[in-house]
Structure 1
Amino acid sequence: MSSVRPKKHLGQHFLKDLSIAERIADGLTGHGDYKTVLEVGPGTGVLTQFLLKKDFETWVIEVDRDSIAYLEKHFSSLDDRIIGADFLKHDFISETKTPLAVIGNFPYNISSQIFFKVLDHHQEIPEVVCMIQKEVAERLASPPGNKTYGILSVLLQAYYDIEYLFTVKPNVFNPPPKVDSGVIRLKRNTTKALDCDETLFRRVVKAGFQMRRKTLRNALKPINLPAELSDHPTLALRAETLSVNQFVALTNLISACQ
């Protein structure tokens, strides 16, 4: 199908297996009553073709000029819904219609940055379905107490329920990556806003995991913990053991003492 060569500097690995592309598209549930879907990095449209069959208005955002030209030639039904821009830098919210779902085969090298942008727009994005590196997918879906549980696990689970859907082997890509991929689904939960200072919450979570083998008492030193909290039992724990609610409670403790 493709006459576009995948570019290493863009982290492109084009999916070849149509059945997997269809399974990814079928991962969309419509949760949150959205009518618009934005595909990130469609490449040559292997996933796009299945999205266009669904009852959503499909938009795509692509930074690669060769891929844009291919999509314009082969997917005329997209009309003016091809955004030639970098997802990480572009204000797609004002250009499309919200609420919207985000879907795609995310480049491994920027997947974390994509999720941070999703977090910035969590009120407008009720659902995400994506294929990323398996290790990262498992980390995001991991519960507290698991060694893979980390910063993005907490930040995303604060606003989304995350489900690991299935694993994808390297041989179905061109070129094949060196690791397995995983497909996950994020569905917006009922939390409209955290019951704490959300900016401080992010700082606490990030600092807590920067030195994940240390207790929170030591890991949180960079944010200048109030002296009166030094003996609090939560600070004797490691970040990986705390749930979202426990991080919210810790944030409120710190905020009350500042």
Structure 2
Amino acid sequence: MTSAPDSALLGPAEIRRLAARLEIRPTKQWGQNFVVDANTVRKIVRVAGVGPEDVVVEVGPGLGSLTLALLPVVRHVTAIEVDPRLAEALAGTVAELQPEHVDKLRLVAADALTVTSLPKPRPTALVANLPYNISVPVVLSFLERFPSIERVLVMVQLEVAERLAAKPGNKTYGVPSLKAAWYADVELAGRVGRNVFWPAPNVDSGLVSLVRREPPTTSASREEVFRCIDAAFLQRRKSLRQALAPWAGSPEAAEAALVAAGIDPRTRGEQLDIAAFARIAEARAAATRPEARIR
């Protein structure tokens, strides 16, 4: 793997020069905090494990810090940028600093949450410094919409990173943890201090690694399982018999689904893994089929 030299990456002075030239002031609306440290973007690329055969989709490339670290290493980068000024400027930055890689960049000027198709070839990885305010929806939606994505490595707010990677029984375990686990094995892959950004955020960041695997074996659909998860954590301190009652129709129906799934109705949602929620959703779906009601 050949990483980019410092001269082909963006440091603090280059970031500020570009921002001034484009008359850009980072906005909270789009969660803009630009990475100004070359070692950090190299670390992201290294931990992502991407290589010459990978087609990487990057959400929120900003001024191009991570894009420039990815281009020498991978086959293609598809960069999705919502800020029209940044989208327009990115190709020029790449042409200036890495002209030999400019043909490897594909730009999509759009809100990542509305993107349902991407230029070919199909992406194999999502690698991004994600705006804090959309990090979980982006990760989940891209895993859902683009099944060719095998690996994800994102830098997000540390609290969000810990929530995504949390395991059952952890105090931060919840809806994001479970929904991410439907698609992938999730791990906290590192911590990043706030001083590598301009402007510096008020919180530290974390790297989250997701490696796709098959979802739990179940006859319930993903939507049915996710509705069950949402209901369980709407009142997370209650037992599942009570928390799932609105979803199932009554406490008795919730208890029946839990017992059929082999789960003590007094259990709370934070104690169960994704496979257990799939069993609950499957048991409830089976109980509501017409043939089950006839008996």
Instruction: Give the structure-1-normalised TM-score.
Output: 0.91
CA distance in 1, matches of 2:66, 2:179: 28
List, as ranges, runs of 4+ consecutive aligned residues in structure 1 with deviation greater than 6 Å.
none
1:240 match: 270
Show the 5 A alignment for 1:1-258. Answer: 1-2=14-15, 3-4=18-19, 5-30=25-50, 35-76=54-95, 77-79=101-103, 81-93=106-118, 95-121=119-145, 123-191=147-215, 194-225=218-249, 227=252, 229-230=254-255, 232=259, 233-258=263-288
Kindly provide the CA deviation profile for residues 125-170 of structure 1, in whole angstroms up to 9, marking residues without a partner as x.
2111100010110111111111111111111112201121111111
2:6 match: none
Whose helix proportion is higher, 1 or 2? 2
Aligned partner letter, 2:173: Y
Aligned-pair distance for 1:40? 0.6
Aligned-pair distance for 1:186? 0.6
CA distance in 2, matches of 1:228, 1:55: 51
Aligned partner letter, 2:41: A
CA distance in 1, matches of 2:36, 2:146: 31
CA distance in 1, matches of 2:161, 2:152: 12
Higher RCO (CA < 8 A, seq sep 6+): 1
Q: Secondary structure at the match of 1:149?
A: coil
CA distance in 2, matches of 1:182, 1:143: 16
* Total equivalences in the alignment: 256
Kindly provide the CA deviation profile for residues 211-244 of structure 1, in whole angstroms up to 9, marking residues without a partner as x.
1111111111221346355363532111000011
Q: Secondary structure at the match of 2:114?
A: coil
Root-mean-square deviation over aligned CA pairs: 2.1
Aligned-pair distance for 1:49? 0.9
Q: Secondary structure at the match of 1:9?
A: coil
Q: Secondary structure at the match of 1:75?
A: helix
Q: Secondary structure at the match of 2:133?
A: helix
219-228 or 51-60, which deviates more: 219-228
CA distance in 2, matches of 1:13, 1:256: 48
Aligned-pair distance for 1:56? 2.2
CA distance in 2, matches of 1:138, 1:172: 20
Q: Secondary structure at the match of 1:230?
A: helix
CA distance in 2, matches of 1:165, 1:228: 40
Kindly provide the CA deviation profile for residues 8-42 of structure 1, in whole angstroms up to 9, marking residues without a partner as x.
221100011110111001122249x9631011111
Larger radius of gyration: 2
2:98 match: none
Q: Residues 175, 194 of structure 1: CA spacing in aligned structure 2 closer, same or farther, 3 A cutoff?
A: farther
Q: Residues 229, 169 of structure 1: CA spacing in aligned structure 2 closer, same or farther, 3 A cutoff?
A: closer
Aligned partner letter, 1:49: L
Structure 1 unpaired stretches of 5+: none
Structure 2 unpaired stretches of 5+: 1-13, 20-24, 96-100, 289-295
Q: Secondary structure at the match of 1:218?
A: helix
Partners of 2:50 and 2:74 within 8 A in 1: no
Aligned partner letter, 1:16: V
Kindly provide the CA deviation profile for residues 68-117 of structure 1, in whole angstroms up to 9, marking residues without a partner as x.
23212111344461111111112233x23224211111000111221231
